[in-house]
Amino acid sequence: MMGRATAVSCANIAFIKYWGNRDSRLRLPANGSISMNMAGIETTTTVAFDENLERDELAINGETQRGEAFVRVSRHLDHIRALAGLGARANVASQNSFAMGTGLASSASAFAALTVAGCAAAGLSLSEAALSAIARLGSGSACRSVPGGFAEWCAGKDHDTSYAESIAPPDHWGLVDLIAIVSREHKQVGSTAGHAAADTSPLQKSRVVDAPKRIETCRKALLTRDFDAFAAIVEHDALMMHAVMMTSQPPLLYWSPDTLNVMRHVIDWRERQGLPVCYTIDAGPNVHVITTQERQETLTARLEALVGGENVLAARPGGPTRLIDAEIRH
Ligand code: DP6
């Protein structure tokens, strides 16, 4: 069997964060999460199974990978091979639309595209939920990049019940994520190690217990397009996650002075100037500034004045991971 397929996937930004696993092998999260796909911040991946290959091969942006990234991808292909009853190794070629080293997390779009392309190339025809669950095994947040628009990942009880579903299509709400890049350094502690440390913080338990309430509040604010309610819960949830990070052993301090400077401006623009704007921050110093598309221009100009013109990226709500090409020969 020779199968080849290509898929394109958007990265996503979480409004209610995933932080900590109940089962780290299966990446069953401690709590559910909600996110928006980011149009244009994409990974395109081609998987080609080939019985003549002796081992898997991986290239990212044209560069052959042999280290950690390769091992993680090859393990992910093992899940797909096991499901399809396939022995063949694969050649994987992946391209990111965004420059590497922008500090943007690419594991979500990477594992969502790898899953959808890999399963198609292996001749598997699976539901969106099943693809989302498989993507989760590679990187937790990747399960939310499989469905389109705004997605909710239900923590679930086991592999089959832990996947993400779309709660609203991309055109439901004209939001935009303006990413203020305050550092282009590669982060020192990656998410996988961070998740493993979450339980060392005494605050993680309360963060997790309270998560269903935050999910409800965020989902409702999203579905009713209530920006004030949305802003309050998104900022609160990001601060809860960073409080856990800062109080873990060892402590994870992702913010830089520039991070805090952008946060303070965002609060001022909203609370004193009445603009619809809020911030969220992942496992790094960059600030995701969420606003409405009507205010995109105004806020882009203000952010550019703070962090420099070349350091602001914009992403509107994106679609699901899509297969753009597939060919199976028996
Ligand atoms: C802070 O999905 O990158 O961005 O499962 O180990 O790959 P792994 O972790 P990952 O963690 C994402 C953490 C976060 C919050 C979020 O996206 O929900």
Q: What is the CATH topology of the domain spanning 175-315?
A: Alpha-Beta Plaits (3.30.70)
Written as six digits, the tokens of 20 are 């900590």
pLDDT value of residue 249:
96
CB count, 10 Å around CB of 224? Answer: 11
> What is residue 133's predicted lDDT score, i.e. its pLDDT?
98
What is the sign, positive or negative, of the torsion defined by CA atoms of 128, 45, 96, 55?
positive
The answer to whether 314 touches 13, Cβ cutoff 8 Å, is no
Residue 100's pLDDT is what? 63
* Domain 2-171: which CATH number of 3.40.50.1700, 3.30.230.10, 3.30.200.20, 3.20.20.10: 3.30.230.10
Nearest CA owner, ligand 1 atom 4:
282
What's the CA-to-centroid distance between 200 and ligand 1, angstroms?
17
pTM: 0.97
Atom of ligand 1 nearest to the CA of 192: 6
Q: To 10 degrees, the CA torsion angle through 282, 258, 277, 296?
A: -100
- Among 12, 18, 286, which is best to mutate for testing ligand 1, by the most ligand atoms less than 8 A from CB? 18
Which string of DSSP letters, residue by residue, matches 115-131? HHHHHHHTT----HHHH
Quote the pLDDT of residue 105: 61
Q: How far is the CA of 298 from the centre of ligand 1 (A)?
A: 30
SS3 state of residue 62: coil
Work out whether the CA dihedral 199, 233, 294, 10 comes out positive or negative.
Answer: positive
Contact between 314 and 269 under an 8 Å Cβ cutoff? The reply is no
Q: How far is the CA of 2 from the centre of ligand 1 (A)?
A: 33
Q: How far apart are CA 41 and CA 93, in angstroms?
A: 17
Give the residue extent of every domain in the chain: 2-171, 175-315
Q: Tell me the CA–centroid distance for residue 17 and ligand 1, in Å.
A: 8
CA distance linking residue 42 with residue 309, whole number of Å: 21
Structural contact between residues 8 and 232, judged by C-beta atoms closer than 8 angstroms: no
Atom from ligand 1 closest to the CA of residue 111: 7
If you ran DSSP here, which 8-state letter would residue 284 be given? S
Task: Sort 218 into a burial class: Cβ within 10 Å, 0-12 / 13-18 / 19+.
Answer: buried
Calculated CA dihedral for residues 116, 130, 147, 42, nearest 10 degrees: -30
Residue nearest to atom 8 of ligand 1 (CA): 139
- Name the amino acid, one letter, at 21: N
For the chain, 330 residues long, give each residue's pLDDT as a single digit of tens: 689 999 999 999 999 999 999 999 999 999 999 999 999 999 999 999 999 999 999 999 999 999 999 999 999 999 999 999 999 999 999 999 987 656 676 899 999 999 999 999 999 999 999 999 999 999 999 999 999 999 999 999 999 999 999 999 999 999 999 999 998 877 778 899 999 999 999 999 999 999 999 999 999 999 999 999 999 999 999 999 999 999 999 999 999 999 999 999 999 999 999 999 999 999 999 999 999 999 999 999 999 999 999 999 999 999 999 999 999 877
Q: How far is the CA of 54 from the centre of ligand 1 (A)?
A: 32
Are the C-beta atoms of 105 and 191 separated by less than 8 Å? yes
Q: Please tell me the distance between residue 242's alpha carbon and the centre of ligand 1 in angstroms.
A: 13
| CA 178 / ligand 1 centre spacing (Å) | 19
pLDDT value at residue 18: 98
Spell out which residues line ligand 1, taking CB within 6 angstroms. 14, 17-18, 27, 33, 105, 107, 139-141, 191-192, 195, 282-283
